Chains A and B, each alone.
Chain A
Amino acid sequence: MKRISSLKISISGVRGIVGDSLTPQLAGALAQAFGTYVGGGPVIIGRDARPSGQMILQAVTAGLLASGCQPVDVGICPIPSFLFLVKDSKSSGGISVTASHNPKEWNGLKFISRDGLYLTPHQVEEFLDIYHQGDFAYAGPDRLKALRSESQPVEPHLKKLLGHFNADLIRRRKFKVALDCCNGAGAMLAPRLLQELGCETVVINAVPDGSFAHQSEPLPENIREICRTVVKSRADIGFVQDADADRLAIVNDKGHPIGEELTLALAAQYTLGKKKGSVVCNLSTTRAIDDIAAAKKAPVFRTKIGEINVVEKVLSAEPAAVIAGEGNGGVILPEIHPCRDSFAGMGLILEYLAASGRTISALQKRVPRYIMIKDKIEGSAEEGYRLVGLLKKRYEGEGRISLLDGLKIDFSDHWIHVRPSNTEPIIRIISEARTGDKARAALRRLKKEIAELKKKI
């Protein structure tokens, strides 16, 4: 297997290893290119809790100042609040210093447009052209701006959230909520939001110090501690955020993780019960979404994998999307802001609990049950794309085929998805069915087909 490059400059931003490829010089030049691209004005800058964040943020500050922009430093800030602030404060854009779920030796930059959204692939291309051409704006001393800092960056987002949900209804239930902030930026807002909603909270891993109490992927196996906390404190529900607080996993009142796919399913179930409109999610999101939407006669739009793809569809969907997201726990509530937002997810689920008067384990049972199995095999992107072509022929006529992103085939009672990774030399394979046996069988067949085809390539 080829060694993974320690530097990735792609449509989703820049990631690299500190002490190796991600130098202050690189971060400074990228920030200056971005400042040139947005053409001056305030640019919100912030970071996740990684230890290298301070160093990279200083470099970004220097690059933005040099280009004539005014950096507005929000420090450690949850991503959804950050995106909301960019739009709410009418800034020219934003740069977030984060490497999401990569291990801690990594860090990176994500670039945000004035709408408070990640740059679209076309915008990234424009911006990277400036970076590669090296033709940066340089402000002389008469046009240099002063660095500003914003000490209350989550306030506009909190205000929006509290205005959106039926806070009185939630407060009356006096929920007890166990919360795991994963020692990430979520700790800056989640406890306050829950308190404002009248919840009694039991918070763990609430120090945003970058130590990542457990791996920052909120997968069920990472969630044991919060499960114990839910049981011990007899909480009504447990919430787990990822390190940058865009994704949400749920633990039920019995102390069992409900599975991250169900976060969006529950959010959709509740939202579609109240509002008419469409649902947007990516190709790999659980089929429970289709069942829930069908019951409400709501259309579902499926997109390529990647948050920006879901968001772009949200912005153009007709009828308008009332709920969107990804199966990894990323809930998008377009009325708040078109981005994955664990806080909006919490608000929705709590309001659902309050409005229905049921427990989370009872609500969970009302969502159609599917079993999803994820696996991966070694293989380059090149190999992956050739496999997709060959597999398509193998499965011809058996189900509904989509080539939107890799190969997805919907059968009557299950589906499979094969997709070369953009970031690693692996091919991701997923199957989902009503039962585990069925899902495993589908995946077994897929792997067998791939093994045979690989011999031919």
Chain B
Amino acid sequence: MKLLKIGISGVRGIVGDSITPKLVMDFAAAFGTRVRSRAVLVGRDTRISGPLLHAAGLAALLSTGCDVLDLGVCPTPILQYMVPRLKAGGGISITAGHNDIQWNALSFINQDGMALNPFQGAEVLDIYHLGKFKKVSTDRLGRVRDVALYADEYFDGLRAFFNSEAIAKARPKVVIDACNGAGAPFLEPMARALGFELIPVNHEPNGYFPHDPEPRPRNAQQVVAVIKAVGADVGFLLNSDVSRVSCVTETGESLSEEFTFPLVAAEYLKDRCGPVVANLSTSRMIEDVTRDRGCPLVRTKVGQSYAIQALVQEEGVLAGEGSGGVALAGFQPAFDGFATMGAILQTMAARGRTISRLVGELPRYHIVKEKIYCPPSKVHSVVSEVKKFFRRHEIDESDGIRIEDKSGWVHVRTSSTEPMIRIIAEDKVKNKARERLDEVSAFIRVLVQ
């Protein structure tokens, strides 16, 4: 079985198995065809397979007549920020985000610097399936150009957006684990821009991931140890392209990635009330926070593409998901780990509170997650069968199966990145969350076998 996911936001698979030069070239050529030979920004995270995808992507983009503005190793949110500022037709970020080292992916960015919306994504897919790529003659081939000083422009923007003086005055000690990913070379510029003291962990952008590049408690041991050793104020874990963040408190408690979004929202919405976007799998914490601030909450299907589309359509102020991705619309409509960290640091500085106190102000829920491997040929029918299990409930089918009652909810959906079924359950009471999950999980396991 080959692991390959082709979707509206890009293509993701295992290098040497489903990710081949031809596949990458065909997708990049489809994207180049869609942007009609305008310039395209290309960046990548630090994965060993990055140069392979980069070379294949460049060749294909050039062949469709697109100039390539090559950012080299670059976090996705910085690439997104630069797309409109360089007046490019779009961007391709070569990264598999939180997936482990054997994966890689192309994720497509539109001319506004946002993840392609579902319609734009469908256009690229149509061109890919049709296989009719634009081909230009020698004289009209694209050229590769390097872009100088783009990080300066990004961090100048970040500094101006936040109350950097307040952060610099507090000068917090911040431990950040970039997981040897694309974030590593950009953390020092960020620390200079916002005025905090950086204590980096796994800071070599060499593509060897010391743990899965997924910001969540089980990967936080190193950060926890360093925080205790140096007496830092806060710790952050990043995924390989800095689109997701999870936090560790000054006491060494590694917080679930579900806390990142409500932590940002609680303070951010005080000054800028407006619609907030969360996906169906995101903790109810965000419902309580938005209700307290008097902001409407919009729930979407899971995936950055849907969240960002809703953010734009609803003229929202904030979008996020339980996996640690947060978009601050006022800065840029993209899941941006730098802006997420900036917002949390600003909250700590402005309110003079420790991160553990800020977390203490949030409502506590218990969220449990499980994934069940399932052959791609069965995965959708299995999820559909789950409806029978919930036949006495009102089912939300906008993304898989979701049922909800007063004290909690459970969500069953097919993963958009791997051949498996994700189950997420949440409840005020810890045991009840586990119960909700175990019931449906047992039902699904029987179906999968």
Contacts and interface: CB of A to CB of B under 8 A. Distances in A.
B72 interface: no
A18 B63 CA distance: 8
B135 interface: yes
Given A141-B49, A144-B15, A54 B55 contact: no
A20 B140 CA distance: 13
A125 interface: no
A25 B25 contact: yes
B137 A105 contact: yes
A147 B138 contact: no
B17 interface: yes
Interface stretch (A58-66, A189-197, A256-264, A295-303): A58-66
A158 B184 CA distance: 41
B59 A59 contact: yes
A140 B56 contact: no
Contacts of B137: 17-20, 105
Interface string B1-45: 000000000000011110011101110010000000000000000
Interface in A179-234: none
Given A141-B47, A144-B52, A147-B51, A54 B135 contact: no
B379 interface: no
Interface string A126-163: 00000000000011110110110000000000000000
A63 B24 CA distance: 11
B52 to A, nearest CB: 4
Task: Please classify the interface of chain A as helix (H, G, I), strand (E, B), loop, or mixed, using the class held by over half of its residues.
Answer: mixed
Contacts of A28: 21-22, 25, 56, 59
A130 to B, nearest CB: 15
Contacts of A50: 138
Interface string A33-71: 000000000000000001110111011011101100000
Contact of B55 (A25, A51, A65, A141): A65
B62 interface: yes
Contact of A59 (B47, B49, B56, B101): B56
A141 B45 CA distance: 14
B374 interface: no
A39 to B, nearest CB: 16
Contacts of A61: 51-52, 55
A24 interface: yes
Contacts of B60: 24-25, 59
A147 B47 contact: no
A272 B22 CA distance: 52
Contacts of A62: 21, 24-25, 52-53, 55-56, 59
A162 B16 CA distance: 45
Nearest to A29: B22
Interface string B351-388: 00000000000000000000000000000000000000
A66 B52 contact: yes
Given A66-B20, A66-B21, A105-B137, 19 more contacts: A18-B137, A18-B138, A19-B63, A23-B63, A24-B25, A24-B62, A25-B26, A50-B138, A51-B138, A52-B141, A54-B144, A55-B142, A62-B25, A62-B52, A138-B17, A140-B102, A141-B15, A141-B48, A147-B51
